[in-house]
Chains A and B, each alone.
Chain A
Amino acid sequence: MPWKPLLWRTAVRLEAAYARRRAPLFGDPLHWDAWSELVAGIRRRDKAARRGWRYARMREHETLQRELEHLLSNLRVLRGSFLLPQVPRLPGAAELYAELAAAEAEFGAVVEEDYELFVTTEPISLEGIDLGPFEIRLDLRRLEEPEPYRIVAVDPRPAHSSSETVHPHVHAQRICLGEGKPAVAAALAEGRLGDLFQLVHRVLQTYGEGSAYVPLDRWCGSPCADCDDAIDEEEGYSCYDCDGVVCGGCVRSCRYCDRSACHECATVCYSCEETVCGRCLERCEQCGEDFCSECLTEGVCDACREAEEEEPAGETEDAGAESQPAIHADGLGETAVLARPRHHRNRRLRNLGRR
């Protein structure tokens, strides 16, 4: 391999930067807030489950998986630091030069710019989504920090819901290394910068569905809870009951208070079948079904009222029963059979048991 004076000068500067490094070799290995977040997440998920908030429970469950991964990642770093407890020796300029040369051979170039050393990856594509190339930048002034690197998208193609998420595992230029964290921490501590760039590159080439900032199936927007089309979360409508997000084409709005609901949770008036939320529905005092306020008169639906008016004045239920022996013979019960409104027969059953 030909001698490269520029790379050598960078190696000498790196050697000096490592010599100045006085911070803990592996940073703060365990963040207690990760544990607190996990405990709080379990409480939130259980609360959502108890209240029957399916969508909220699902979201909390997904978040819990990520929090757990974060905690495990910190624990792996801690375990790694105990595997070989000796203090890594400081890398020399020759060793650093060899590392830089190896990185240059793998990535095509190692560039030093404004106290940062960076390599550029090839365009990365995950699950058919093209994310473009990335720069892995190492800040030479922050070598004492646990994570002195950042990831910059050369041609950003961020998630629809977050302009700062340019990769499932990169948010605001910070990469969460997950399983790769201990190895990267060790490579940084030992001055194996070629390994460091390579390891970060491997993380960028890998997709972990359960631990992504934005899962790739929602990269182009969240799926509508009803039709599954991708929608921007800010443009979607949140169902008041299950907390699911639905698109403008699928949303059902209460005709009185305008609250939004998905198809599954929407309740309708028993008579006019207009969408009316549980809070605005009222119960008919006679048949016990739910109606909008316009379809009730003094607490009684039109059908029950008509049935009442059709009954002869002073006729008792017993008398009615005697006048309809054929119906009673079938065991259908009482005169309420006659009082059922005609349009009740076509009522959809999907909202039975709801408010």
Chain B
Amino acid sequence: MKVLFINATGGGFAAPLEIAEGTTVGMLFLEQVGGDPKNYLIRVDRLPTTIHQVLHEGARISITPLKIEGARGVA
């Protein structure tokens, strides 16, 4: 089945992704991002979720780090 995956740790684009039926948020996270999910805000269909949620056809999953380091611009 297809889902829309938005990974803010990469380029930040929304990209369609083919996943197996029964894939959970946690499985997708490990496959696409890795690391500790506690350091990320994971949302499905724009709502915060848990790693145990099973994804459905057409789901919109976004993964955003809790900390994103800014910088100092150059005038």
Which residues of A approach B to under 8 Å, CB–CB?
31, 33-34, 37, 66-67, 69-70, 73, 79-81, 83-84, 88, 98-99, 101-102, 105, 168-169, 171, 174-180, 182-187, 190, 192, 194-195, 198-199, 202-208, 211-213
Contacts and interface: CB of A to CB of B under 8 A. Distances in A.
Contacts of A183: 8-12, 64, 68
Contacts of B68: 177-180, 183, 199, 202-203, 206
B71 A70 contact: yes
A192 B74 contact: no
Contacts of A211: 69-72
Contacts of A203: 68-70
Question: Shortest 7 CB-CB distances between A and B: which pairs?
Answer: A183-B12, A169-B70, A178-B71, A80-B11, A186-B12, A176-B73, A208-B69
A180 B62 contact: no
A138 to B, nearest CB: 16
A212 to B, nearest CB: 6
Contact of A174 (B10, B46, B65, B73): B73
Among B9, B46, B70, residue most surrounded by chain A Cβ atoms (within 10 Å): B70
Contacts, number: 119
B14 interface: yes
Contacts of A98: 46
B6 A192 contact: yes
Given A178-B68, A194-B46, A205-B67, 7 more contacts: A33-B74, A69-B71, A80-B12, A88-B13, A182-B11, A185-B12, A198-B64
Interface string B12-34: 11110000000000000000000
A212 B69 CA distance: 10
Interface centre among A69, A99, A171 (most CB of B within 10 A): A69
B69 to A, nearest CB: 4
A163 B49 CA distance: 40
Contact of B66 (A80, A168, A202): A202
Given A79-B11, A187-B12, A206 B64 contact: no
Contacts of B9: 183
A343 B11 CA distance: 71
Pick the most buried of B6, B9, B13, B46: most chain A CB atoms within 10 A of its CB: B13
A167 to B, nearest CB: 8
B70 A178 contact: yes
Nearest to A191: B14
Interface residues of B, number: 24
19 contacts: A31-B74, A69-B72, A101-B46, A102-B46, A102-B47, A168-B70, A175-B70, A178-B68, A179-B68, A195-B6, A195-B8, A195-B64, A198-B64, A199-B12, A199-B64, A206-B67, A207-B69, A208-B71, A211-B69
Nearest to A187: B12
B54 to A, nearest CB: 21
Contacts of A33: 74
Contacts of B6: 192, 195
Given A102-B46, A194-B46, A80 B71 contact: no
A98 B74 CA distance: 35
B70 A84 contact: no
Nearest to B73: A176
A190 B13 contact: yes
Nearest to A202: B68
Nearest to B48: A106
A175 B71 CA distance: 8
Contacts of A73: 71
A213 B72 CA distance: 5
Nearest to B65: A202
Contacts of A81: 11
Contacts of B15: 84
A70 B46 CA distance: 31
A202 B71 contact: no
Contact of A169 (B8, B10, B71): B71
